Structure 1
């Protein structure tokens, strides 16, 4: 028998959307229409629809860094889904801060590493889909958006499908950060709009210390702000998201330093 924590729905239930659909086509708007057909009162917030196509690592990072700023009970619908129409599972997950809806492809692994899943179901009950036979290419419209809307309307998680083992949810294979005697070793986990290279090393590791980053033969000083170095120069700092990042003052670190996702870096700190 599953144990679910019942969520108290607010008068203005919040549902967020994250996808790689972009804003040129109507796909993101269509999902909102489906949601509002089911529940016209839900407040829909676009986290972003500019995730690079099929980039699960970027989707994982963006959701990880957005969810803490939303009220408890928020429903997060996330669709970056290279396996749409395949045998990959469609899921809904309850965690301490709310609910997650999307494909079981690792997109939620960042969030669930911080706040583990309480319960999860595979979305097998077509009563809560838009249509009984969904498109093989648009589960965002036909499964995930309507399920999110039904959850916002108070439908219990267990009615949406069959219980699944939360420990069996798919994880994205990202190199783990590990502490060393001199600092930490990790990797670049995200590249933002400005070309800043965000690592998976928490800023807390170097708080109140003098430090620098070693990557691909480069030595990059740790600073407090972008302007601590001259325009065009590289710096490392703790970003607003709390992770150590590499940036170029008034430039693009991704293109100028020729560094990319999963590249290994080392942070060296001095007492």
Structure 2
């Protein structure tokens, strides 16, 4: 009988402890060819073996802060409040850049260098507060002699402690001004019959070109499905592509190999070739310097 009560107590305690924890979601440019990601997960496991740990991606191109910013924006709204994201794309490791935790108005947390990675989630989810990580209190014990793996020693450790409830947000470190470093880019807008926007990312698997032109901005052209639009894509001041394509609901609405404009899974305007690679065909990239202009034909 006592054994049964001990077992029940253990189950209740374990369930309650697990319920008090939030998911930890990891992102980096480390890849998975070596042990870097596993080391970060080992640190998290050391904080709490019950902590649910997930991968966003570890295939961010090396040092590409902008793409890291976009992947956070793309993913975070689909995770519940309380989720802790650790994002480590850190070409300035060891420099004077700050290590911070952003608390958004949506109740999510982002643990990362303040190097532009927070540009889009700060805009999308709002800034509730920003704290600098106090590495005297929130650093993996025994790691003080390590200067080049803050992803393991500072970010994974702090993120895991925050997600597991070992520390509160107030215990992360001193509060900073409610602002983060932002990367400038062309926001979607409508003027004189033309919509302007940015190409933040490519659909890397299929070569589709995604823009930041949302449904509300696109509606200002008063398009109907089947209407044709004129599209101009620029890198800086250089025109890379100009063409006409139909605005349709899905790829099968045009012939194989034909261009189309459609709304992607985030309901942003995108361009594609049906069963082709639009980006490769027209040598189009993505990032803050890539812009797009569209208008009715």
- TM-score exceeds 0.5: yes
**SS across alignment from 1:204:** helix
Structure 2 Cα separation of the partners of residues 80 and 180 of structure 1: 36
Alpha-carbon separation, structure 1, partners of 2:171 and 2:107: 20
Instruction: For residues 99-155 of structure 1, give each alpha carbon's deviation from its aligned partner in whole angstroms, at most 9, with x where no partner exists.
Output: 110110111111110121111111123222114526332111010000001101221
For the residues of structure 2 that align with 1:213 and 1:49, how far apart are their CA atoms?
36
Task: Please tell me whether the aligned partners of residues 213 and 236 of structure 1 are also in contact (alpha carbons under 8 angstroms).
Answer: no
Distance, in Å, in 2 between the alignment partners of 1:177 and 1:64 is 16
- The partner residue of 1:53 within 39, 48, 62 is 62
| 1:223-251 deviation line (CA, Å, top 9, x unaligned) | 21112222222211110012111112112
Gapped regions of structure 2 (runs ≥ 5): 1-17, 233-240
2:294 aligned with 1:267: yes
TM-score, structure 2 normalization: 0.82
Cα offsets for 1:27-84 (capped at 9, x unmatched): 1121111101011111111111111111112111111011111111111111111111
Aligned residue among 193, 197, 204 for 2:216: 204
- 1:10 Cα deviation from its structure 2 partner: 3.6
Q: Distance in 2 between matches of 1:134 and 1:108?
A: 28
Aligned equivalents of 2:41 and 2:32: distance in 1? 13
Separation in structure 1 between the aligned mates of residue 230 and residue 94 of structure 2, nearest angstrom: 42
**Which runs of 4 or more aligned residues in structure 1 lie more than 6 Å from their structure 2 counterparts after TM superposition?**
none
1:1-271 equivalences under 5 Å are 10-95=19-104, 96-131=106-141, 133=144, 135-154=146-165, 155-167=167-179, 169-193=180-204, 194-207=206-219, 209-210=223-224, 212-215=229-232, 216-261=241-286, 262-269=289-296
- Number of equivalenced pairs: 261
SS of the aligned residue for 2:157 comes to helix
TM-score by length of 1: 0.90
Identify unmatched segments of 5+ residues in structure 1.
1-8
Describe the SS at the equivalent of 2:97: coil
Larger Rg: 2
The RMSD of aligned alpha carbons is: 1.9
Decide whether the 8 Å contact of 1:134 with 1:143 is kept in 2: no
